[in-house]
Amino acid sequence: MSSFLTLNSISELHKILGCPKPKHPAISFIPFSKMNINPSVKTYKGAIADFYIISLKNTKGKFKYGRNYYDFDEGSLIFTSPNQVLFPDHLADEFTEADGWSLIFHPDILYQSDLGNKIDRYKYFNYNTNEALHLSEKEKIQIMNCIDNIIEEYSQNIDKHSQSLIVSNLGLLLNYCTRFYDRQFITRAKQNTDIISGLESLLKDYFNTEKPSIQGLPSVKYCAQELNLSANYLSDLLKKETGKNTKEHIDYYLLERAKNLLLSSNLNINEIAYKLDFESPKSFSKLFKKKTGNTPSEYKSIG
């Protein structure tokens, strides 16, 4: 088996998918039904593409959310950013069995646009596949209205207005997706509570052991992996539910452990700083002062 296939242009993707040449070099809409995927795809471990992809899959099945599975029977929208692994080795089977479409756009189309400057704000392009956006029929219609406008625009003779109109409709589509993700966070409140409880237990257990001094402080990535989520999705979920992102939650439990050690142990401040994996007692004191309003020594004396 070969390693990874590199796709630098939408034209190359069309060729691999067995589709006619794209009408626009930087953006394209492809229904799965129009794909006749080149069998050579299966000889690769995967593909890395230099563009963004938004795919809708209309397949019934089970959706993994955190550590649990949930049935779904409406469209699932999946987002992929440039340089992510695009094709698993079972790509051909997935697309030929699914009903849906993909909207592909190259970063070049965002050049010198407001959307290009803020595309990184749409963090769902770095969510895991199991964190897909599940759309209602009404939401799918709103998404398709934006896509129809994009298709209509790039199918005409390109003029000086084409790019700005395409990008405007693309921005509108992404803003709708942000709204729908906010709705999904709200409607999955029970599952979100389970994830938050799981994070709290994870951090309490971590800081109540010797792991900080041995393995270092838990990272956002570590917490997300332990909960079977992407780092971006976990932080967005926490921000929506608690007003604090993952890093702020880590800092909270770090400080709670520090407070406990200051008040209930015989360890001095230097020893506590080492135990909690701070670079130095000075950095420990600086963070503690910033978060609590007191230095570790002041807090210890007050307590």
Which CATH number is 227's domain given? 1.10.10.60
pLDDT exceeds cutoff 70 at 115:
yes
Does this model's pTM top 0.85? no
pLDDT of residue 16: 87
pLDDT exceeds cutoff 80 at 72:
no
The verdict on residue 283 lying in a domain is yes
Which residues, at least 6 apart from 83, have a Cβ–Cβ distance to it below 8 Å?
48, 49, 50
Residues 155 and 147 sit within 8 Å (Cβ to Cβ): no
One domain, residues 60 and 126: yes
One domain, residues 127 and 200: no
The verdict on residue 167 lying in a domain is no
Measure the CA–CA gap between 59 and 300, rounded to whole angstroms: 58
Measure the CA–CA gap between 58 and 49, rounded to whole angstroms: 23
The verdict on residue 160 lying in a domain is no
Residues 143 and 150 sit within 8 Å (Cβ to Cβ): no
Number of domains in the chain: 2
One domain, residues 196 and 298: yes
Q: What does the mean pLDDT of the chain come to?
A: 87
Sign of CA dihedral 284, 286, 287, 292: positive
Q: Which of 135, 152, 175 is the last residue of a domain?
A: 135
pLDDT of residue 2: 57
CB count within 10 Å of CB 152 equals: 12
The verdict on residue 154 lying in a domain is no
Q: Which residue has the higher pLDDT, 103 or 65?
A: 103
pLDDT in tens, 15-60: 988 899 999 999 999 998 888 887 777 777 778 889 999 999 875 5
pLDDT exceeds cutoff 80 at 61:
no
One domain, residues 98 and 204: no
Residue range(s) defining the domain that contains residue 231: 190-302
The verdict on residue 161 lying in a domain is no
The verdict on residue 97 lying in a domain is yes
pLDDT in tens, 170-221: 999 999 999 999 999 988 888 899 999 999 999 999 999 999 989 999 999 9
Measure the CA–CA gap between 169 and 105, rounded to whole angstroms: 12
pLDDT of residue 90: 43
Q: Which of 88, 113, 135 is the last residue of a domain?
A: 135
Q: Which residue has the higher pLDDT, 62 or 141?
A: 141
